[in-house]
Amino acid sequence: MTRERIIAATSKVLAEKGYDATTLREISREAQAAPGLVHYYFGGKDQLLVEVLQEAGQRFNQTMKLLVQEVPADQALDAFLTKLYERVGQEPNVYRLRYESFSLGLHNPLIEPKVRERLAQRREEIGSVMAKVLESDTKGSAIDPNTLASLLLPLFDGLALQKIMDPTFDLDASYQLLARMLHSLLSHAGE
């Protein structure tokens, strides 16, 4: 119970303040728990933060996976993009934690492989969606679904960052153009 409160408090503070600026004191205040408890449960600050970030990453991947599976096959591409688009605006904290995770991986050699692995995993998921799309849509396309995924994942993440840093950023227009590009690509892929 207290453990969960600490994790929730950590997520919140972490998304707001960032890794280093997050203090155990603020977490314990937010969670209404004794400062010493963090060590009792998690062993230390780094362990706690990494665990929370890790978990958030897995939840992110998991949610995205489910989000795709719900989508009917015949309208896969558009539905997929729509889902993603909605998600960015609704849960900015999810993306904030995501960037915190990238930021951490960029400087912490111990965390880096885990982040890299989650990125690869995510590309594969997108790749498998794209595989379906390419299959149903094209006749002998030369497009590799994994390469396409390697283009789409960074694009989604990049777009979300733009939107978070600049609320006036027209995410909608970007997604519409993206949809157009993808359709254009798919319908002429064999040429």
Partner DNA sequence: GATGAATGAGGATTCATTCAT
Partner DNA sequence: GATGAATGAATCCTCATTCAT
Return the number of the residue (5 or 164) whose C-beta is nearest its own copies: 164
64 interacts with its own copies by CB under 8 A: no
Which range of residues in 56-64, 77-85, 111-119, 131-139 is near its own copies by CB under 8 A? Answer: 111-119
Question: Locate tokens 């600026």: which residue?
Answer: 21
Distance separating alpha carbons of residues 116 and 105, to the nearest angstrom = 8
Footprint on this chain of DNA (rule: CB under 7 A): 1-3, 21-25, 33-41, 44-46
Distance separating alpha carbons of residues 130 and 109, to the nearest angstrom = 32
The option from DNA, its own copies, none interacting with 25 (CB < 5 to 8 A, set by class) reads DNA
Helix (H, G, I), strand (E, B) or coil at 163: helix
Q: Which amino acid is at 81?
A: L
Distance separating alpha carbons of residues 7 and 101, to the nearest angstrom = 16
Touching its own copies, residues 2-21 (CB under 8 A): 16-21
Q: Going by C-beta distance under 8 Å and a sequence separation of 6 or more, which residues neighbour residue 40?
A: none
- Residues binding its own copies (CB under 8 A): 16-21, 96, 99, 102-103, 105-107, 112, 115-116, 119-120, 143-144, 147-148, 150-151, 153-159, 161-162, 164-166, 169-170, 173-174, 177-178, 180-182, 184-185, 187-189
